[in-house]
């Protein structure tokens, strides 16, 4: 009895001490979670969903060809068992007022009546002409696409031609086009990419008019370095800075001034009319760009970017990116490249 008690105590203490190690020993032995953490393997291309969808429907394209020849509508089943509707005929789709719950493959142009909702993905081999108030989960269009007023795209849209979105459209997720993207008044977006994105216009203006710079110019030459300021920076009309500007305070650049490098502020940045920045702009606060400015890009902002009418961001030869939680663009502005609004972006009504 006298030996048993300390032995029992020792065993109980050891068991208590080992208890927290039990799950650890189990995992060490079974190795249930011993693979390397997955790292990012994609190349970040905005079109990756569209490419995946094309691979997914590839086996069904033979059915689409046959339906086109026969000019008929067929129901098929895709490789994973999903039902799909194959439209081989030309003309308007007979979906008026309906909710379409199948994947839809169109052999030619697709003309959608108003108020159609697609709960599955849509593929259009020709041109897509949408009606008002359509709801599209995701779509891939081989030709051009024109979306009616207040159309909603829920996940992604890729257009191999040009995309025209009429007023009040809402794009959740990714939207891309291989040619021009035209966004109507009041359109909302998250991530949009194309060679040129224009707001509230039908085509890129031939030349974005610049304000005439007048008066004496003071030049600050910082070609090989940075102008680093602990407080605020204010460039007056006509000033030219050859180099980068880094400011811990606000940056205000008045109308017609130029910066040949990049601009960074730990607070807000305001560009007056006709300002040119031939580098990137980075702001930890709010970035406000007035009318008819030019910024080579990228624009990185941690709060909100507001872009005035007639302003050009990037260029046809040098596509760029605007990234911010909120992006607001005035009609008449042009962006070459990508708009990425993490919370919401909109074309001002």
Query: Which residues would be at the binding site for other proteins (CB under 8 A)?
Result: 20-21, 23-24, 26-28, 31-46, 193, 224-226, 228, 230, 244-246, 261-264, 279-280, 282, 296-298, 300, 302, 314, 318-321, 323, 337-338, 340, 342
- Considering the complex, what minimum distance in angstroms separates the CB of residue 189 from other proteins? 14
Task: Supply the minimum distance, in Å, between the C-beta of residue 29 and other proteins.
Answer: 11
C-alpha separations of 156 from 168, 173, 344 in Å? 17, 5, 15
How far apart are the C-alpha atoms of 290 and 80, rounded to whole Å?
A: 52
Q: Which helix (H) or strand (E) holds 229?
A: strand 219-229
Of the pair 4, 35, the CB lying nearest other proteins is at 35
Q: What is the DSSP string of 121-154?
A: -EEESS-EE--TT-EEEEEEESS-EEEPTT-EEE
Q: Which residue, 26 or 98, is less far from other proteins as judged by CB? A: 26
**Shortest distance (Å) from residue 295 CB to other proteins:** 12
- The distance of closest approach from Cβ of residue 217 to other proteins in the complex, given in angstroms and rounded to an integer, is 22
DSSP-based helix, strand, coil % in the chain, nearest 5: 15, 40, 45
Closer CB to other proteins, residue 108 or residue 244? 244
Q: How far is the CB of 261 from other proteins (least distance, A)?
A: 7
Distance CA 160, CA 126 (A): 10
The nearer residue to other proteins, 57 or 163, going by C-beta atoms, is 163
Phi, psi of 293 (to 5 degrees): -95, 165
* 245 within 8 A of 231, measured Cβ to Cβ: no
* 50 phi/psi in degrees, rounded to 5: -65, -40
Nearer to other proteins, 71 or 223 (CB): 223
147/300 with CB nearer other proteins: 300
CA-atom Rg of the chain in angstroms: 28
- Of 93 and 198, which has the nearer Cβ to other proteins? 198
Which residues on adjacent β-strands are paired with residue 259?
241, 277
Tokens representing 318?
């040098």
Q: Is 8 helix (H, G, I), strand (E, B) or coil?
A: helix
Confirm if 268 and 249 have CB atoms less than 8 A apart: no
User: How far does CA 73 lie from the centroid of its chain?
Assistant: 35
Calculate the dihedral angle through the C-alpha atoms of 115, 118, 123, 129, rounding to the nearest 10 degrees.
10
CB of 177 to other proteins, least distance (A): 13
Q: Is 343 left (phi over 0), alpha (psi -120 to 50) or beta?
A: alpha
User: How many residues can be counted in the chain?
Assistant: 349
Tokens 């199948």 found at: 102
What is the smallest separation between the CB atom of 43 and other proteins, expressed in angstroms? Answer: 4
Closest distance to other proteins from the beta carbon of 306 (Å): 18
In whole angstroms, the minimum distance from the beta carbon of 195 to other proteins comes to 9
């Amino acid at each position: 009895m006298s030996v048993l008690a300390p032995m029992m105590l020792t065993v109980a203490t050891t068991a208590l001490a080992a208890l927290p190690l039990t799950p650890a020993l189990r995992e060490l032995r079974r190795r249930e979670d011993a693979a390397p953490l997955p790292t990012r393997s994609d190349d970040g291309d905005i079109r990756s969903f569209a490419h995946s969808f094309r691979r997914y429907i590839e086996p069904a394209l033979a059915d689409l060809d046959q339906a086109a020849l026969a000019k008929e509508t067929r129901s098929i089943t895709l490789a994973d068992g999903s039902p799909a509707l194959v439209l081989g005929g030309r003309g308007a789709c007979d979906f008026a007022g309906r909710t379409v719950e199948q994947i839809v493959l169109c052999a030619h142009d697709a003309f959608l009546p108003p108020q159609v909702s697609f709960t599955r993905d849509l593929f259009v081999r020709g041109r897509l002409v949408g009606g008002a108030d359509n709801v599209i989960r995701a779509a891939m269009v081989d030709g051009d696409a024109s979306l009616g007023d207040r159309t909603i795209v829920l996940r992604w849209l890729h257009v191999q031609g040009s995309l025209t979105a009429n007023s009040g459209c809402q794009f959740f997720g990714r939207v891309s086009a291989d040619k021009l993207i035209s966004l109507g008044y009041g359109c909302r977006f998250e991530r949009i990419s194309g060679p040129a994105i224009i707001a509230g216009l039908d085509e890129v203006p031939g030349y974005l008019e610049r304000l005439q710079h007048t008066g004496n110019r003071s030049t600050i030459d910082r070609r090989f370095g940075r102008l680093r300021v602990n407080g605020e920076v204010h460039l007056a009309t006509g000033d030219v800075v050859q180099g980068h500007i880094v400011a811990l305070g606000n940056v205000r650049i008045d109308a017609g001034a130029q910066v040949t490098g990049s601009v960074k502020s730990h607070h807000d940045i305001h560009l007056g009319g006709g300002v040119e920045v031939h580098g990137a702009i980075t702001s930890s606060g709010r970035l406000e760009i007035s009318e008819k400015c030019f910024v080579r890009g990228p624009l990185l902002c941690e709060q909100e970017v507001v872009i005035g009418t007639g302003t050009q961001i990037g260029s046809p030869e040098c596509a760029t990116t605007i990234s911010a939680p909120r992006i607001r663009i005035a009609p008449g502005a042009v962006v070459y490249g990508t708009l990425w609004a993490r919370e919401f972006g909109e074309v001002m009504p």
